[in-house]
Amino acid sequence: MQRQNFQVTCAIGISTWPYNGDEATLLLQSADLAMYHVKHLDSNEVHYQFYEEKMLVNSQRTLEVQQHLRNAIAENELYLVLQPQFSLDDSQALCGAEVLLRWQSKKLGLVSPAEFIPIAEKSGLILTISAWVLEQSCRLIKQLQEQFSNFPRVSVNLSGDEISVGLAKRINTQLTAFGLSSQSIMLEITEAQLVKFNDQVTSEIDQLRRQGVRISLDDFGTGYSSMSYLSSLRFDEIKIDRTFITKISTDKKILLLVKAIVSMAQALECKIVVEGVETTEELDCLTNMGIDVLQGYLFGKPMPCEKLVAHLNSGKYKILESSFNI
- Binding stretches for ligand C2E (CB under 6 A): 83, 100-101, 112-114, 117, 133, 157-159, 218-219, 275-278, 295-297, 302
Measured from the CB atom, the residue of 136 and 207 that comes closer to ligand C2E is 136
Measured from the CB atom, the residue of 47 and 70 that comes closer to ligand C2E is 70
Measured from the CB atom, the residue of 51 and 244 that comes closer to Ca ion is 244
Cross-strand pairs, 190: 218
| Cβ 111 to ligand C2E shortest distance, Å | 10
Select the binding partner of residue 297 from Ca ion, ligand C2E, none (C-beta < 5 to 8 A, by kind). Answer: ligand C2E
Distances (CA, A) of 300 to 271, 279, 313, 316: 20, 12, 16, 11
Rounded Cα gap, residues 282 and 89, in angstroms: 16
Measured from the CB atom, the residue of 218 and 292 that comes closer to ligand C2E is 218
Rounded Cα gap, residues 157 and 186, in angstroms: 9
Assess contact for 293 and 272: CB atoms under 8 A.
Answer: yes
Rounded Cα gap, residues 25 and 3, in angstroms: 40
| Cβ 243 to Ca ion shortest distance, Å | 10
Assess contact for 283 and 262: CB atoms under 8 A.
Answer: no
Measured from the CB atom, the residue of 31 and 80 that comes closer to ligand C2E is 80
Rounded Cα gap, residues 250 and 282, in angstroms: 9
Measured from the CB atom, the residue of 26 and 100 that comes closer to ligand C2E is 100
Distances (CA, A) of 284 to 13, 83, 221, 245, 270: 49, 21, 21, 11, 22
| Cβ 321 to ligand C2E shortest distance, Å | 25
Select the binding partner of residue 221 from Ca ion, ligand C2E, none (C-beta < 5 to 8 A, by kind). Answer: none
Quote the longest CA-to-CA distance of the chain.
72
Residues of the shown chain interacting with Ca ion in the complex, contacts defined by CB under 5 A: 157, 188, 218-219
| Cβ 99 to ligand C2E shortest distance, Å | 6
| Cβ 321 to Ca ion shortest distance, Å | 25
Residues 300-326: b if buried by 16+ CB within 10 A, e if exposed: bebbebeebbebbeeeebebbeebbeb
| Cβ 219 to Ca ion shortest distance, Å | 4
Measured from the CB atom, the residue of 77 and 218 that comes closer to Ca ion is 218
| Cβ 212 to ligand C2E shortest distance, Å | 22
Select the binding partner of residue 87 from ligand C2E, Ca ion, none (C-beta < 5 to 8 A, by kind). Answer: none
**Closest by CA position to 187, among listed 164, 173, 208:** 208
